[in-house]
């Protein structure tokens, strides 16, 4: 009813709510109560229905009341235990109200037989306390070695788990050495036995490192046990075991029970495997895949080396071409080529000049007489002019004007100063009409050369 509509008689001051309003109020009250967020409820199963989507709908009842339950498919198929009419179970889930039908329901996360209810409560309480200490934090998880040389297996030597792990390790990575650390994995003495095995392994690792044998020390631990009930696996929920796993110096892989089995040791381990065999597969690589990876890496390396060598070869060829271009042979060849180019250019120019004189050449290829005579006369005149200049500038013209050229007879040196000819020096004198020989006489009184006495003449 719309609150804005007039109220019915007798309802003054009251608000009439719709059904949806009431359901939302009830749902809000349910969801706000934190006690209803995480419930463990024991009761008898009645009227089980599985929908086509795979969800399970059933009733959980006791002597006083009954409760509608819904179990979604994803949670249901992971459980090894399924609800059946008449069974007493402990259901774990949360309460909520389905508004379209106004139905109060338990949204189930897991179920187990009623006899295990106390263990489940203890499990959850211990899990919450240890998680609050940070023992299950992902930040403290350590990475596993990629190719461990020594693998320690903490398990019972009499069970099938040990043989399954050895089989998987030998098939996938036969190079690894497997070290068995025997312990009990079930019963009241199992927690202390598991802790003792982990401590013995810690001491052995420290001894190997102290003795200078680090290669003999294990690099990873597999903590393993086969499947079983909650009571069978309870040793791996012991607080002592959890703390020993967390405190160990070597990474621990937990392979406990089946995939649906979860223990506190799984949360404490560095890696959880769904089964013991899966734990063995996790700690070592597959030799087939590893071999293929090595072959791919070798192909990449070969291609990279080939590429580098090819590039180096190309660089070397380029350097060789540069050096060849700078060598004497190459430079001589280049000069020869340039000379050839210049010769071809000169020939072309000469041919072009000769082509301009073709009209002056007769059929026999000779110059016409008029042209030839003019050229001869011009050349003779130039020659006579050059000759006249040579005559005027020549030494004979100077001699004809009355000058002489005086040389020492000994070495032919031309004399320009009297001091260059001491007394007694033999002289050769060239005149315009011939040569004379003379001897230098001293000047009376000071010994200076004063005159040259002739000794002979050539005309």
β-bridge mates for residue 337, sequence order: none
Copy the structure tokens of residue 329: 């042979």
Q: How much is the pLDDT for 8? A: 52
User: For the chain, what percent of residues have pLDDT higher than 70?
Assistant: 87
Q: In CATH, which of 3.40.50.300, 2.60.40.1180, 2.40.50.140, 3.40.50.1820 is domain 19-126? A: 2.40.50.140
171 Cβ contact list (under 8 Å, min separation 6):
none
Q: Do domains 19-126 and 141-288 have the same CATH topology?
A: no
pLDDT digits (tens, 9 = 90+) for 206-218: 999 999 999 999 9
Q: Is the model's pLDDT at 198 over the cut of 90?
A: yes
Among candidates 436, 433, 430, 432, which has minimal Cα distance to 455?
436
Domain layout of the chain by residue ranges: 19-126, 141-288, 404-458
Query: 141-288 has which CATH code?
Result: 3.40.50.2300
The whole-number pLDDT of residue 456 equals: 52
In this structure, are residues 250 and 220 in contact, taking their beta carbons and an 8 Å threshold? yes
Dump pLDDT digits (tens) for 264-298: 999 999 999 999 999 999 999 999 988 888 999 99
374-429 pLDDT, tens digit per residue, is 666 776 777 777 777 776 666 777 777 778 888 888 887 888 888 888 888 888 88
């Amino acid at each position: 009813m719309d609150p804005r509509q007039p109220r019915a008689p007798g309802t003054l001051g009251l608000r009439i709510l719709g059904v949806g309003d009431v359901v939302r109020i009830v749902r809000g009250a349910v969801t706000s109560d934190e006690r209803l967020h995480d419930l463990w409820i024991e009761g008898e199963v009645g009227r089980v229905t599985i929908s086509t989507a795979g969800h399970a709908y059933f009733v959980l009842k006791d002597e006083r009341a009954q409760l509608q339950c819904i179990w979604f498919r994803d949670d249901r198929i992971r459980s090894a235990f399924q609800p059946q009419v008449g069974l007493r179970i402990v259901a774990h889930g949360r309460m909520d109200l389905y508004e379209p039908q106004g139905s109060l329901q338990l949204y189930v996360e897991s179920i187990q037989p009623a006899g295990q209810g106390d263990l489940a409560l203890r499990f959850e309480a211990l899990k919450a306390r240890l998680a609050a200490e940070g023992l299950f934090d992902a930040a403290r998880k350590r990475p596993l070695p990629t190719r461990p040389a020594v693998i320690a297996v903490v398990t019972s030597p009499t069970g099938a788990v040990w043989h399954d792990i050895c089989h998987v390790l030998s098939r996938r990575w036969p190079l690894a050495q497997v070290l068995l650390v025997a312990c009990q994995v079930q019963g009241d003495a199992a927690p202390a036995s598991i802790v003792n095995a982990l401590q013995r392994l810690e001491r052995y690792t420290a001894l190997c490192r102290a003795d200078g044998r680090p290669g003999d020390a294990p690099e990873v631990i597999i903590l393993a046990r086969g499947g079983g009930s909650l009571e069978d696996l309870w040793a791996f929920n012991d607080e002592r075991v959890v703390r020993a796993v967390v405190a160990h110096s070597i990474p621990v892989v937990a392979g406990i029970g089946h995939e649906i089995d979860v223990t506190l040791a799984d949360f404490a381990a560095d890696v959880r495997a769904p089964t013991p065999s899966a734990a063995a597969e996790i700690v070592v690589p597959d030799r087939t895949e590893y071999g293929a990876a090595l072959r791919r890496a070798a192909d990449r390396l070969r291609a990279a080396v080939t590429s580098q060598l090819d590039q180096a070869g190309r660089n070397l060829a380029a350097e060789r071409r540069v050096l060849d271009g700078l060598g004497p042979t190459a430079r001589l060849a280049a000069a020869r080529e340039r000379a050839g180019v210049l010769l071809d250019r000169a020939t072309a120019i000469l041919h072009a000049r000769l082509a301009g004189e073709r009209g002056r050449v007769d059929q026999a290829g000779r110059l016409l007489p008029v042209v030839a005579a003019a050229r001869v006369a011009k050349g003779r005149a130039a020659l006579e002019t050059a000759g006249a200049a040579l005559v005027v500038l020549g030494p004979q013209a100077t001699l004809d004007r009355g000058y002489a050229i005086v040389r020492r007879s000994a070495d032919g040196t031309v004399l320009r100063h009297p001091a260059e000819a001491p007394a007694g020096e033999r002289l050769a004198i060239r005149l315009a009409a011939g040569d004379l020989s003379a001897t230098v006489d001293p000047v009376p009184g000071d010994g200076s050369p004063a005159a040259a006495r002739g000794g002979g003449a050539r005309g």
